[in-house]
Amino acid sequence: MRQGTFQWMKSVNRSIILNKIRTDAPISRAQIAKETKLTPPTVSSNVKELIEQGIVRESELGESRGGRKPTMLLINNKGFYVIGVDVGPKMIECIIADLAGNIVTRTSSKLTVPITNAQFLTILKEGIRTVIQDASINPEKFIGIGVAMHGVVEVETGISLFAPNLGLTNIPIKEELEKEFELAVKVENDARVMALGESWFGNHGKLDSMLAVNLGRGVGAGIVINGKLYHGAQDIAGEVGHMTIDVNGEICECGNRGCLQTFATGSAIAKKAKKMLKECSEQQVDQSSITGKKVYELALAGNEDCVKVLVETGIIIGIGLTNLIHIINPSKIVLAGGVTKSSKFILPAICESIEQRALTPRAKQTEVIISELGDDATIIGAIALLLVDLFDPL
């Protein structure tokens, strides 16, 4: 499917109908008309075109309510596909997934620094070409490309303004990919993409609002309100890693002191553990081997100092989340990223910290969970970037 067809499918009525089928399938034409307030002729004519287009299919007959059994409608999830890209600090991963987020094929390419914008774009394009070739899918079946990019992204233009892990600025990702592949392209900050992926594919039900926080090499978040990402006035909404926790704390890479990121990343956990283990002469641990993952393994093995480090980290994350509960008041908070693999120790501390600090009894009960999408949360979110426009453009 080329951009022209994609734009055709984005008409408001069609998108209302598509989203209704997506969320409530199997559903009849009559139910759609009743629940969306569209006229039956409008629903019938649009559904007819959507079936001809191949994005909607009919299923078995529904239950009769006194007349002829209605034909039920479903999204034809394998009718079209989306290309998803996750640009990490050391690798570009590409997938092709159907409209339900099921991954058909995937590939990855290594990134090494220093690297130029031109070199980066070449690797990015080659990765996308490879995954398309591996899938052997009719090119007309692709509705677009979603790109999750770390750093600061200008969403409207699809330009990566600053990619700190690569040391690059002003990469025209959207322009270059649309020119190369003749498909609609959406580029978004990776933490916000992860939040969108959770909203669409995380099995959280219908929520008015969700906060998804990525705790890994850095700390970032995405805010989803009524199914849509909230960007803020200058596209920096979700930079929770640079929330000040301690004005006298360590200097963060952003230049400020005591940011949440200086406490809650894998490297911050490792640094704190090294200091604590060094101070305890009875501990026989190779300092050079200490990583965030190693701290968790030592904690599992019964090392009390490592347990203490993880619990204290959870308390601090809980303080940060309490601040966000007071500001955003989300229905649910979802945590993802490498640090959450230590959830056995940090999650109870996070919840206890919120319980002690939140203003109201209901705020204290804000649900905080670990993502079930695991390491694929971000790249699945890249798929959702295109699906939002397709199913819910309002």
pLDDT bucket at 151, cuts 50 / 70 / 90: confident
Q: Cα separation of 129 and 88, whole Å?
A: 18
**Tens of pLDDT, residues 211-222:** 999 998 889 999
Report the DSSP pairing between strands 142-149 and 185-189: parallel
Q: Cα separation of 290 and 269, whole Å?
A: 9
- The larger pLDDT score, comparing residue 281 to residue 310, is at 310
Do 36 and 88 share a domain, yes or no? Answer: no
What pLDDT score was predicted for residue 284? 60
Q: Report how many domains make up the chain.
A: 3
Mean pLDDT of the chain: 90
Do 217 and 336 share a domain, yes or no? Answer: yes
What is the pLDDT averaged over residues 180-190? 95
377 contact partners, CB below 8 Å, separation of at least 6: 194, 197, 198, 202, 212, 214, 336, 371
- Kindly report the CATH number assigned to the domain that includes residue 14: 1.10.10.10
4 contact partners, CB below 8 Å, separation of at least 6: none
154 contact partners, CB below 8 Å, separation of at least 6: 161, 235
pLDDT bucket at 283, cuts 50 / 70 / 90: low
231 contact partners, CB below 8 Å, separation of at least 6: 155, 192, 237
Do 278 and 319 share a domain, yes or no? Answer: yes
366 contact partners, CB below 8 Å, separation of at least 6: 325, 330, 332, 333, 354, 358
Is pLDDT of 4 > 50? no
What pLDDT score was predicted for residue 1? 41
The domain boundary residue, chosen from 75, 106, 139: 75
Do 40 and 168 share a domain, yes or no? Answer: no
No. of H helices and E strands in the chain? 14, 16
Do 88 and 110 share a domain, yes or no? Answer: yes
Do 246 and 344 share a domain, yes or no? Answer: yes
What is the pLDDT averaged over residues 14-39? 91
Q: Is the dihedral of CA 114, 117, 120, 122 positive or negative?
A: negative
Q: What is the pTM of this model?
A: 0.86
* Residue indicated by tokens 């990619």: 163
Do 120 and 232 share a domain, yes or no? Answer: no
What is the pLDDT averaged over residues 49-60? 90
Do 44 and 105 share a domain, yes or no? Answer: no
* C-alpha closest to that of 210 among 310, 336, 376: 336
Mapped onto helix, strand or coil, the DSSP state of residue 108 is: strand
Do 97 and 54 share a domain, yes or no? Answer: no
Do 87 and 39 share a domain, yes or no? Answer: no
- Kindly report the CATH number assigned to the domain that includes residue 234: 3.30.420.40
* C-alpha closest to that of 266 among 234, 296, 291, 237: 291
What pLDDT score was predicted for residue 170? 97
Domain that holds residue 125: 81-199+378-391
CA atoms within 13 A on the CB side of 265: 18
What is the pLDDT averaged over residues 135-139? 90
What pLDDT score was predicted for residue 280? 64
Is pLDDT of 63 > 80? no
Q: Which range, of 14-23, 58-67, 346-355, averages the lowest pLDDT?
A: 58-67
Is pLDDT of 157 > 60? yes
Do 235 and 364 share a domain, yes or no? Answer: yes
